[in-house]
Amino acid sequence: MKRWLVLLLLLVSAAAAALEPIKFTDDAEETRFRELSAELRCVMCQNQSLADSNAQIAHDLRMQVLALMREGKTNREIKEYLVARYSEFVLYSPPVRPSTWLLWFGPGLILLGGAVVLAVVVRRRADGAPATPPSEDSQEW
């Protein structure tokens, strides 16, 4: 990570105004907030979720998310708001769309392909397999 980013982060977190813990109106709001901010990426400390990051910008964005929640915006609208400003990078979970089909469906296809290969291999090797299970004594460990 570039040195300036690191220094920036640390100086900001040290000199910034207090990171006030949030007072939620109720448990449901708290749960929704935590879940939503866990689905967003901190744009500064990029390998942390928005929920976990201590960066100043993460705090600002969390406050903004809360404000938008209280304005009545849906989770989707809040995500769109952030994507319009910070690009899709801010989504921790990549959206499912043509550019990410390979990502989301690739593993399933790999598994399927592997299963097909497995079936072929097993079919081929089954020729000559004993008709009944072998006796215990022939089983070596």
Judged by beta carbon, residue 74 or residue 87, the one nearer another protein is: 87
Judged by beta carbon, residue 72 or residue 125, the one nearer another protein is: 125
C-alpha Rg value of the chain to the nearest Å: 25
Q: How far is the CB of 72 from another protein (least distance, A)?
A: 19
Picking from 99, 28, 116, 98, the residue whose alpha carbon sits closest to that of residue 69 is 28
Question: Are the C-beta atoms of 33 and 65 separated by less than 8 Å?
Answer: yes
Q: Decide: helix, strand or coil at residue 25.
A: coil
Q: How far is the CB of 28 from another protein (least distance, A)?
A: 15
Judged by beta carbon, residue 46 or residue 74, the one nearer another protein is: 46
Question: Are the C-beta atoms of 49 and 92 separated by less than 8 Å?
Answer: yes
DSSP 53-117: ---HHHHHHHHHHHHHHHTT--HHHHHHHHHHHH-GGGBSS---SGGGHHHHHHHHHHHHHHHHH
Q: How far is the CB of 55 from another protein (least distance, A)?
A: 8
Judged by beta carbon, residue 72 or residue 138, the one nearer another protein is: 138
Q: How far is the CB of 48 from another protein (least distance, A)?
A: 7
